[in-house]
């Protein structure tokens, strides 16, 4: 038992019960004189105990009937309980101190002690209050049901405000609550009761002043008998009290509406023009209603959150479904695009193998196989580029270079196709030495893509022109043709992924509609932009690439020996005469093909199937350039080159320049190869001309040992 409970003696217990009972209690002696009445009885009658004590109660509260006639003590059923030694119950009408009559129910019980009746205890309840309690209970029950069913927040809040305003007898009530709007911002809305909304429309919302603030912060209810006398009132501008024209408020009651989490969902405010209109009972009733409002509002929130989640799930599902359909379609197109050239390759190689083709047909078979294999490699290259672009892994190998390098290389690469289609290919430039900063291989790819399209979409006998020019602080590359042109409605979409104006004709030409989207991405990576122009179908097209010039302070162009044009001056552009090239490749077909290409260009080639074989003969052969595969049984290309370079370092030699030749074409693979000491990284399938050009650029003499 706690110390405070110890202090409650049986007597003080009894006193506490009597004082705090809500029923009015009177104790009378055997002469029907009042000995005691509790607080509820004082409130009911309007008299204080001291005024009535020791005097007949009947004279104070029961002396007149409502019709004004006297009520004799002898007729009173309450006062006969003790003399007749029996309990009396019934209904009577009391007179209040202020003269008004009010019906009550009573129970009068004799007090017996040691076999003798010594007095009466009377319990009295005001009928009107009983009825009010009953109607409060009904209102709360109805509101409770509404809180569980209502789906509209506005209607819910209005019902709470209306009920609370009615039960407190307020002149008006208001409920302020925060909601988030569609864009996620917070908005304060309100419901009003007992007053036309237009009345409040011109007043600002209550702010967090000392009077309103605590309620909005959820610090508890505030009940004030006369707000005009409260020190918290009228201190704050601009109104210093009620705004002009506001309904008069003296009695004030404010109750926060809080969620279980402690979050304040809103606040209920009530006003009355007369003072002392809100009792502690009104406050308790309003707090119960606020708790119900909190349940309802929290329930609606959960419901809305569940609905939003359901919509989101539905949207994600539809997106996933669309993506899956798109993927299926994409895979079907890719598989078609890859199979088409494969059909030719397999068909013609079968006929070659049969050995029954005439020399003319053999040549045709080889040309067709070559063309189709290139087409297939192009598709794979485009797919890899797009996948790198999507995953943000496309990196530039940036350096300073002359614009002529990639443009001329691209023109040369497209020339055979132009010749085959009888399309004239013209380079128009008088701008010498335009220096750019970027990746010349990627810019070559840009120009090559534009040229390939121009040739592809230009009829026999047509003309494709490449213009290179300098304009203010930019370099221009323009690829124009007098081919079939682009319709105005398709023009804005040419750079979109997987867009082709006409699937039939492009299928005939091959392509996935990826080229121009790669072009745009690469140009933008260089800080430039690309535009497409066409006067319409049949009117030809022009693609213009604008690139920023390299800063004047940029590193100077590399020496002439690395530029193909400079190489032209010294010897035939593709000669490898005098080169010793070590080739390490485990696949016999590829090894044979590469060795043949290098030898056909005059190189002396040491071809090895394994890294170990290469290491065994490196001293004897003394390669000038090494070309090595990466994925090989035993020792891979990375380990091979590290071992080789370590061996050379021990022998006092510089590292032999090496090219990594690999089917792993990702940016990470490239970096790994460079880290292992390779000077270049080339993705398979390799163009023979590209390999030859690379070997030439890497040549460095290596001192022979022994």
Site residues (CB under 6 A) for ligand ADP? 453-454, 457, 481, 483-484, 486, 494, 499-501, 506, 511-517, 541
Distance CA(216)–CA(476), nearest Å, equals: 65
CB of 591 to ligand ADP, least distance (A): 33
Element at 265 (helix H, strand E): strand 264-272
Residue 621 phi, psi (nearest 5): -80, -35
CB of 377 to ligand ADP, least distance (A): 14
Q: Residue 67 contacts by C-beta under 8 Å, 6 or more apart in sequence?
A: none
Element at 600 (helix H, strand E): helix 588-600
| Residue with Cβ nearer ligand ADP (455 or 614) | 455
CB of 523 to ligand ADP, least distance (A): 13
In three-state secondary structure terms, 204 is: coil
The residue whose Cβ lies closest to ligand ADP is 511
| Residue with Cβ nearer ligand ADP (104 or 464) | 464
**Which of 317, 368, 363, 360 minimizes the C-alpha distance to 341?**
368
Distance CA(623)–CA(704), nearest Å, equals: 9
CB of 665 to ligand ADP, least distance (A): 19
| Residue with Cβ nearer ligand ADP (400 or 499) | 499
| Residue with Cβ nearer ligand ADP (161 or 453) | 453
Distance CA(278)–CA(162), nearest Å, equals: 16
Distance CA(156)–CA(162), nearest Å, equals: 10
CB of 486 to ligand ADP, least distance (A): 5
Q: Residue 314 contacts by C-beta under 8 Å, 6 or more apart in sequence?
A: none
Cβ atoms of residues 47 and 54 within 8 Å: no
| Residue with Cβ nearer ligand ADP (133 or 374) | 374
| Residue with Cβ nearer ligand ADP (513 or 637) | 513
| Residue with Cβ nearer ligand ADP (341 or 511) | 511
* DSSP labels, 622-642: --SEEEEESS-SSS-HHHHHH
CB of 532 to ligand ADP, least distance (A): 7
| Residue with Cβ nearer ligand ADP (251 or 517) | 517
**Which of 695, 698, 683 minimizes the C-alpha distance to 630?**
683
- Helical axes 667-675 vs 637-650, angle rounded to 10°: 20
**Which of 697, 677, 607, 597 minimizes the C-alpha distance to 637?**
677
CB of 156 to ligand ADP, least distance (A): 57
CB of 533 to ligand ADP, least distance (A): 10
Distance CA(379)–CA(331), nearest Å, equals: 13
CB of 542 to ligand ADP, least distance (A): 8
CB of 353 to ligand ADP, least distance (A): 32
| Residue with Cβ nearer ligand ADP (279 or 499) | 499
Structure tokens at 464: 């494709």
| Residue with Cβ nearer ligand ADP (268 or 486) | 486
CB of 683 to ligand ADP, least distance (A): 19
| Residue with Cβ nearer ligand ADP (450 or 547) | 450
Residue 693 phi, psi (nearest 5): -60, -40
CB of 427 to ligand ADP, least distance (A): 17
CB of 500 to ligand ADP, least distance (A): 3
DSSP 64: B
Terminus-to-terminus CA distance in the chain, angstroms? Answer: 106
Element at 49 (helix H, strand E): helix 49-52
| Residue with Cβ nearer ligand ADP (352 or 501) | 501
- Helical axes 359-390 vs 515-525, angle rounded to 10°: 50
| Residue with Cβ nearer ligand ADP (79 or 385) | 385
Cβ atoms of residues 630 and 642 within 8 Å: no
Angstrom CA distances, 648 to 133, 205, 389, stand at 103, 85, 39
Distance CA(679)–CA(660), nearest Å, equals: 8
Distance CA(563)–CA(106), nearest Å, equals: 117
Per DSSP bridges, beta strands 435-438 and 463-471 are: unpaired
């Amino acid at each position: 038992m706690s110390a405070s409970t110890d202090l409650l003696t049986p007597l003080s217990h009894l006193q506490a019960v009597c004082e705090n009972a809500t029923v009015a209690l009177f104790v009378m002696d055997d002469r029907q004189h009042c000995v005691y009445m509790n607080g509820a009885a004082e409130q009911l009658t309007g008299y204080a105990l001291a005024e009535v004590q020791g005097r007949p109660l009947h004279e104070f509260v029961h002396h007149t009937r409502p019709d004004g006639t006297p009520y004799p003590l002898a007729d009173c059923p309450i006062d006969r309980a003790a003399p007749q030694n029996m309990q009396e119950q019934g209904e009577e009408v009391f007179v209040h101190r202020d003269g008004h009559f009010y019906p009550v129910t009573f129970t009068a019980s004799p007090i017996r002690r040691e076999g003798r009746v010594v007095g009466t205890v009377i319990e009295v309840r005001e009928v009107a209050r009983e009825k009010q309690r009953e109607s409060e209970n009904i209102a709360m029950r109805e509101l409770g049901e509404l809180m569980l069913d209502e789906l509209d927040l506005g209607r819910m809040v209005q019902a709470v405000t209306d009920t609370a305003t009615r039960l407190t007898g307020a002149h008006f009530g208001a409920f302020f609550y925060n909601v988030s709007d569609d864009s996620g911002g917070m908005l304060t809305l309100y419901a009003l009761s007992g007053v036309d909304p237009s009345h409040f429309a011109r007043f600002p919302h209550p702010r967090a002043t000392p009077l309103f603030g605590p309620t909005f912060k959820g610090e508890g209810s505030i009940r004030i008998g006369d707000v005009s006398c409260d020190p918290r009132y009228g201190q704050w501008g601009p109104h210093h009290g009620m705004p002009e024209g506001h309904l008069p408020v003296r009695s004030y009651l404010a109750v926060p509406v809080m969620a279980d989490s402690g979050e304040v969902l809103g606040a209920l405010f009530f006003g009355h023009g007369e003072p002392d209109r809100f009792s502690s009972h009104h406050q308790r009733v309003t707090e119960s209603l606020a708790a119900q409002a909190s349940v309802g509002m929290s329930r609606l929130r959960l419901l809305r959150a569940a609905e939003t989640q359901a919509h989101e799930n539905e949207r994600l599902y539809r997106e996933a479904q669309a993506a899956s359909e798109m993927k299926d379609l994409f895979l079907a197109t890719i598989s078609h695009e890859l199979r088409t050239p494969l059909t030719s390759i397999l068909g013609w190689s079968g006929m070659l193998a049969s050995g029954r083709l005439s020399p003319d047909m053999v040549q045709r078979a080889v040309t067709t196989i070559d063309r189709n294999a290139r087409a297939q490699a192009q598709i794979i290259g485009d797919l890899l580029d797009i996948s790198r672009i999507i995953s943000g892994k496309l990196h530039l190998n940036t350096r300073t270079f002359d614009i002529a390098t990639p443009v001329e290389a691209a023109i040369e690469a497209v020339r055979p196709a132009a010749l085959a289609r009888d399309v004239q290919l013209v380079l128009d430039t008088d701008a010498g030495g335009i220096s750019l900063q970027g990746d010349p291989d990627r810019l070559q790819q840009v120009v090559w893509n534009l040229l390939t399209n121009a040739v592809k979409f230009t009829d026999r006998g047509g003309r494709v022109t490449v213009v290179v020019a300098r304009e203010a602080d930019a370099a221009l590359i323009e690829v124009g043709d007098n081919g079939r042109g682009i319709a105005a409605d398709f023009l804005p979409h040419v750079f979109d992924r997987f867009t082709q104006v006409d699937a039939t004709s492009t299928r005939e030409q091959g392509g996935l509609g990826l080229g121009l989207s790669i072009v745009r991405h690469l140009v933008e990576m260089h800080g430039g932009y690309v535009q497409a122009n066409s006067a319409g179908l049949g009117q030809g097209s022009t693609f213009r690439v604008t690139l920023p010039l390299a800063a004047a302070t940029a590193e100077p162009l590399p020496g002439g020996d690395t530029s193909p044009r400079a190489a032209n001056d010294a010897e035939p552009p593709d000669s490898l005469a005098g080169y010793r090239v070590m080739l390490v490749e485990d696949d016999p077909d590829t090894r044979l093909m590469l060795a043949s290409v290098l030898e056909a260009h005059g190189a002396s080639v040491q071809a090895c199937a394994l890294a170990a074989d290469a290491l065994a003969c490196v001293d004897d052969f003394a390669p000038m350039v090494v070309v090595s595969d990466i994925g090989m049984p035993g020792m891979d290309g990375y380990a091979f080159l590290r071992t080789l370079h370590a061996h050379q370092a021990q022998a006092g030699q510089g590292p032999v320049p090496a090219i990594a030749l690999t089917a792993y074409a990702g940016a990470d693979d490239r970096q790994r190869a460079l880290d292992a000491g390779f000077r270049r990284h080339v993705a398979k399938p390799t163009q023979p001309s590209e390999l030859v050009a690379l070997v030439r650029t890497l040549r460095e003499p290596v001192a022979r040992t022994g």
